[in-house]
Amino acid sequence: MTDRFADLDRALCDKLLSFIYPDESNMTDEEIQAELQRLKIDMRPAIERLNMALNFCNEKQKAQGEYKTAREKRLSLLEKFKQIKIPNLPAQRNVLQEMIAQLLNAPLKATYSRKLEEAASEQDLQSLLEDILRLESLNRESKNEK
């Protein structure tokens, strides 16, 4: 033993290691690439993993955007729905049956026929009547827009 290197301490060791393995922040992209090759580090699996995460993130952002648009559209429709003024009509079961048959499209017909069957009070019938009239008004508006 020569003791030539005996005064090696943590700080000096760190400096020496920085010389042997230069700090990446002082290296160019080309030097980084060469260093990876020298170290025989295969970056392909890590790059693949990163790409997967990026794609997933992009898809997630896209879906979040679509969800936001759909939600805004739904809220605006709901607002429109509430603002529609409806005529003051008597909510009779046979009148409602006729309105369902004439004014609503096929899927809504089935839904509202079932709701009519389930309606027990006058309040239920009145609420159904208002819904049908508003729906019909919205349908008419969207047909006119087209």
Binding site for other proteins (CB under 8 A): 1-2, 4-10, 12-21, 23-25, 27, 29, 32-33, 35-36, 39-43, 45-47, 49-51, 53-54, 56-57
Q: Residue 60 Cβ, how far from other proteins at the closest point, in Å? A: 9
CA–CA gap between residue 86 and residue 124 (Å, rounded): 16
Residue 9 or 117 with smaller CB distance to other proteins: 9
Of 88, 81, 96, which Cα lies nearest the Cα of 141? 81
Residue 64 or 76 with smaller CB distance to other proteins: 64
In the block, tokens 């030539």 appear at: 4
Half-sphere exposure of 16 (CA within 13 A, CB side): 8
Residue 45 or 87 with smaller CB distance to other proteins: 45
Q: Residue 25 Cβ, how far from other proteins at the closest point, in Å? A: 8
Q: Residue 32 Cβ, how far from other proteins at the closest point, in Å? A: 5
Of 104, 94, 101, which Cα lies nearest the Cα of 135? 104
- Report yes or no: 100 and 137 within 8 Å, Cβ to Cβ: no
Residue 50 or 86 with smaller CB distance to other proteins: 50
Q: Copy the structure tokens of residue 68.
A: 């936001």
Q: Residue 73 Cβ, how far from other proteins at the closest point, in Å? A: 24
